[in-house]
Structure 1
Amino acid sequence: MHIFSSRYFFLFTLLTILFCCSHAANSPDLITNICSKTLNPTYCLQFLKPLYRSGDSLRDLAKDTIDSSSKFLFFVYDEIHVREIQSSKNTVLNDIYHKCGVQYTAATNAIRKGQNALGSGDYRNLSSLAALALKQAQNCELNFGGGVSEPADFKNLNEKGRDVCSIVLAVANLLVSRKI
């Protein structure tokens, strides 16, 4: 009876440790860990929490993050396009929005290519693509200046675009570090 109890206790302990460790890797602490590595942790928490479902793996969360990020970046691009049309009589502002449109096209395409990289398990490429997208979103902000100020509502939207790219980059980097 004592041998059975020892084996049972060992098995129970082992299963408990495995369950706790796998659950901890997929818990909301994962979101906190990711968000601590982004440009705007507060926005990151708001962005990721609705995407996380209990039992999700990091890869599941990455897929949902990339999908949502791609849609958000396209939304920003669409807003840029509207502003470009509206500013057609102001050639300087029109040119700035046109440049931002090109940059957000590149950012959106990079994130969409990231979906393929995630699917193939090429997390380093996903990380590179997310970094490219982040750079493009940051470059849009740099277009403003020289006497042309960025409208406050657009600045806020562009910052969120940048933050979304930062989230994808943090997720990608975590995938890279866990694969090694």
Structure 2
Amino acid sequence: MALSMKNSTFLFSLVLVFFLFVDTSFALNAMPLKIFPPNNDQEIILTTEALKNICKQTQNPSFCLRYLKNRTHIGTTKIYQLAQSSIELAKKFANDLHGEVSLSIKTENDTEVQHLYMICLENYKFAVDALYNAGTHLESGNYPALQVQASLAFEEAESVGNQLKVAPKRASSLRQMTKNLEYQCDIIRALISYICSQTKLCY
């Protein structure tokens, strides 16, 4: 009799475990899948719609579309990786411009233009520093601080552009390249804003 009761208790336990398992499995399968999981900033995939929304936020949407389309595959590229590479490219570009202006100072005979270029050098240096900090903040997931640094880099490039408005015509190519740097920093801000809009990491 005791053995029979033990067997009955054991069978009842098995049945209970089975129903609990089935109920849990059903609940998990019934949960809706999310395209953009909250707090998963590194998994957001670039779609055509996302690309349009990102570039709409920038000063020059057509430049943004060309710039990003050349480096992405719709449906597979992750926006986090795109932000990462955009920061690195902008940093390298700002560094190259710094080097170019350094050379221009050595060959420039006009002292006023030399002084102007010296100011631009400082702006480029600050832009490089800000972009370096932006990359660090991206790695740590500090998006509010990243936005601040991307905006600082943008402002430094904008400042150079304003300085070069009074420069001689021979500085026109430098003006255009600086404008491109400004656009690149603006794109970084738009990419981060989009990540923020899809996650809860910025609030």
- Structure 1 match to 2:155: 135
Are 1:56 and 2:77 counterparts?
yes
1:67 aligns to 2:88 (yes or no): yes
**1:31 Cα shift?**
2.1
Pairing 1:98–2:126 present: no
C-alpha deviations, 1:41-83, integer Å up to 9, x for none? 1111122122223423221211111111111222222222222
Larger-gyration structure (1/2): 2
- How far did 1:25 drift? 4.9
Instruction: List aligned pairs for 1:86-125, cutoff 5 A.
Output: 86-87=107-108, 89-125=109-145
CA distance, structure 1, for counterparts of residue 49 and residue 72 of structure 2: 11
Is the counterpart of residue 29 in structure 1 residue 49 in structure 2? yes
Residue in 2 that maps onto 1:45: 65
Question: How many residues align structurally?
Answer: 165
Q: CA 1:31–1:162 in structure 2 vs 1: closer, same or farther (change >3 Å)?
A: same
- Give the match for residue 152 of structure 1: 172
Task: Please give the per-residue CA displacement for 1:84-108, whole angstroms capped at 9, x wherever unaligned.
Answer: 2221x21111111111111011001
**Residues of 2 paired with 1:37 and 1:76: CA distance?**
26
The answer on whether the counterparts of 2:161 and 2:175 sit within 8 Å (CA) in structure 1 is yes
C-alpha distance 74-31 of structure 1, shift in aligned 2 (>3 A): farther
Secondary structure, counterpart of 1:143 in structure 2: helix
Q: Distance in 1 between matches of 2:190 and 2:102?
A: 28
Displaced runs of 4+ in structure 1, greater than 6 A? Answer: none
Please tell me whether the aligned partners of residues 164 and 175 of structure 2 are also in contact (alpha carbons under 8 angstroms): no
5+ residue gaps, structure 2: 1-28, 37-42
RMSD: 2.5
Q: Which runs of 5+ in 1 are unaligned?
A: 1-10
TM-score normalised by the chain length of structure 2: 0.71
- Pick the aligned partner of 1:164 from 161, 181, 184: 184
Question: Could you tell me which residue of structure 2 aligns to residue 3 of structure 1?
Answer: none
